[in-house]
């Protein structure tokens, strides 16, 4: 049995080790700052920098998924540390126009959950392991995270500022995505896509 002085020295080291190896139960994101449209049923949020740190810490024990469309990935690049690209929504071949959003309509990708489950299984991971989702600015990851939570996934984190970040509201730079996000944080990303990570339906 350890003497009291030895316990006093070792206990802080043991506690530090436990904190380091365990995934966070909470995150540094101030929940009061999460806009209503980005709030998820699970309530698990990370900003881009935290997502990078979480993935670096957990490595193969977490699945980091870019859920944007194939067009976005092709022309805008993706995080270098992402494990897979599995779009939650896609533009159908005959996509109509969405007046509300001012862009072509997106449709739910029916293959999203089965493909994500396949990616998890290939790494011996399950619905109880950490999944990190990123989209352009955090809106689509909210819907994707809610869907996965309904399917029994218990640790789905949404990157609330996304890959490109939120848009400036006013001034000469209004509409430009310069406020936050993966790219604006200077985190590693690439235009060079890895075929093994890509979503290739029917390939």
Give me the chain's average pLDDT, please. 84
Helix boundaries (H) for the chain: 4-21, 48-58, 70-76, 112-122, 139-150
Q: Is residue 1 part of a domain?
A: no
In a domain, 11, yes or no: no
Q: Is 143 helix (H, G, I), strand (E, B) or coil?
A: helix
Q: Is residue 96 part of a domain?
A: yes
In a domain, 4, yes or no: no
pLDDT in tens, 14-72: 333 333 344 444 456 767 778 788 889 999 999 999 999 999 999 999 999 999 999 99
Q: Indicate the SS3 state at residue 51.
A: helix
Q: Measure CA 115 to chain center.
A: 16
pTM: 0.81
- Note the pLDDT of residue 154: 95
The gap between the terminal CA atoms of the chain, to the nearest Å, is 61
pLDDT category at 128 given cuts 50, 70, 90 is very high
Inter-residue contact 189 to 183 (CB < 8 Å): yes
* Domain harbouring 62, CATH code: 3.40.250.10
Q: How far is residue 71's CA from residue 94's CA, in Å, rounded to a whole number?
A: 15
Could you give the number of structural domains in the chain?
1
The residue segments making up the domain with residue 186 are 23-197
Q: Which long-range contacts (CB under 8 A, 24 or more apart) does 145-149 make?
A: 145/40, 145/41, 145/42, 145/44, 146/40, 146/41, 146/42, 147/88, 147/112, 147/113, 148/113, 148/116, 149/40, 149/41, 149/42
């Amino acid at each position: 049995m350890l003497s009291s002085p030895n316990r006093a020295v070792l206990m802080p080291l043991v506690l530090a080790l436990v904190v380091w190896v365990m995934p966070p139960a909470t995150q540094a994101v101030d929940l009061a700052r999460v806009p209503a449209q980005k709030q998820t049923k699970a309530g698990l949020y990370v900003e881009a920098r935290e997502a990078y740190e979480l993935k670096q810490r957990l490595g193969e024990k977490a699945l980091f998924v870019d859920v944007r469309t194939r067009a976005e990935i092709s022309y805008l690049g993706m995080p270098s540390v992402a494990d897979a690209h599995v779009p939650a929504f896609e533009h159908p071949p005959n996509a109509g126009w969405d007046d509300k959003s001012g862009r072509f309509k997106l449709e739910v990708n029916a293959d999203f959950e089965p493909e994500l489950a396949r990616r998890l299984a290939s790494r011996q991971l399950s619905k109880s392991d950490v999944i990190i989702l990123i989209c352009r600015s955090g809106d689509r990851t909210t819907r994707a995270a809610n869907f996965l939570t309904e399917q029994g996934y218990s640790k789905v984190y949404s990157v609330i500022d996304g890959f490109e970040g939120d848009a400036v509201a006013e001034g000469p730079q209004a509409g430009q995505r310069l406020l936050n996000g993966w790219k604006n944080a200077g985190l590693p990303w690439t235009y060079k896509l890895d075929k093994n990570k890509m979503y290739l339906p029917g390939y």
